[in-house]
Amino acid sequence: SGTSRPVRILHHVQKVAQYGDAQSVLSAVDSYCSKIEWAMNVGDLKGQILDAVVLETRPHYVLELGTYCGYSTVRIARLLPPGARLFSIEMNPQYAQVAREIIQHAGLDAKVDILVGCTSDLIPQLKKKLDIEKFDFVFIDHWKVSYLRDTKLLEECDLLRPGSVLLADNVTCPGAPDYLHYMRTSPRYESQYFPSRLEYLQVEDGMEKSVFLA
Ligand SMILES: O=C(NCCCCCn1ccnc1)c1cc(-c2ccc(F)cc2)cc(O)c1O
Ligand SMILES: [Mg+2]
């Protein structure tokens, strides 16, 4: 087939969603991916958990690992106060371009920067490049085998402060067992599991919320 799945999702959003209306963009993606073709967006059920954690955290600086089509990027950015900034890292340039256009359709491009590259390369550059001290909220949704490595990298690069919140998608399906074990045994985190379902399916999944202590 000529176009990619993310491009087909973008075309659907551009056709049916109201420009500047983030909720209509989210609804367009969710209806497309539940009726036409599945895609690995966090979805509306786990998205409600994401919303609650963002609202509770009221973050000023947000980091997202794994942008894909920008669904969770829109989900988070729509809840941020003016002046807050969201940086999202995506290693696939095609995904990143689709995400930029979906985020722009939602009217949230002023709050969001998408960085194209590998998290292990970019995370050590963030302080210098972005002139940021710490992230208040991190949404982890990229390669499941990289969750733990990149969390340790955030610690080593001094990008977390006491109270920083990390929320990880898919800790049950596909699963991130080494990340879960680390978070649930480390004295440096207070961790909590939120059971849910895999996006658009009846399969069990869940998200792990971990607060960095010191
Ligand atoms: O692999 C996932 N995401 C990472 C995609 C690539 C990230 C690239 N990248 C970005 C930055 N650095 C690297 C993912 C997979 C599934 C899933 C669940 C069940 C199933 F049968 C098949 C797939 C569900 C998700 O919710 C996911 O997030
Ligand atoms: Mg995911």
- Which residues does ligand 1 sit against, CB inside 6 Å? 40, 65-66, 89-91, 119, 141-143, 169-170, 173-174, 198-199
Per DSSP bridges, beta strands 204-212 and 189-197 are antiparallel
Q: Whose CA is nearest to atom 24 of ligand 1?
A: 40
Per-residue model confidence (pLDDT) at position 157: 98
Q: Whose CA is nearest to atom 14 of ligand 1?
A: 40
CB atoms within 10 A of CB 131: 7
Per-residue model confidence (pLDDT) at position 73: 99
Alpha helices in the chain (DSSP H): 5-16, 22-35, 43-57, 71-77, 93-105, 119-122, 126-130, 147-156, 177-185
- What number is the average pLDDT over the span 14-38? 98
Query: Per-residue pLDDT tens for 41-99?
Result: 999 999 999 999 999 999 999 999 999 999 999 999 999 999 999 999 999 999 999 99
- What number is the average pLDDT over the span 24-43? 98
Query: Per-residue pLDDT tens for 114-149?
Result: 999 999 999 999 999 998 999 999 999 999 999 999
Per DSSP bridges, beta strands 135-140 and 112-116 are unpaired
Per-residue model confidence (pLDDT) at position 214: 82
Note the pTM of the prediction, 2 decimals.
Answer: 0.99
Closest CA to 87 of 35, 139, 51: 139
Confidence of residue 1 (pLDDT cuts 50, 70, 90): low
Which single residue is written with the structure tokens 């919303």?
Answer: 51
Neighbours of ion ligand 2 (CB under 5 A): 141, 169-170
Query: Per-residue pLDDT tens for 155-193?
Result: 999 999 999 999 999 999 999 999 999 999 999 999 999
210 contacts: CB under 8 Å, gap ≥ 6? 165, 166, 167, 168, 183, 189, 190, 191, 192
Closest CA to 102 of 143, 72, 80, 64: 72
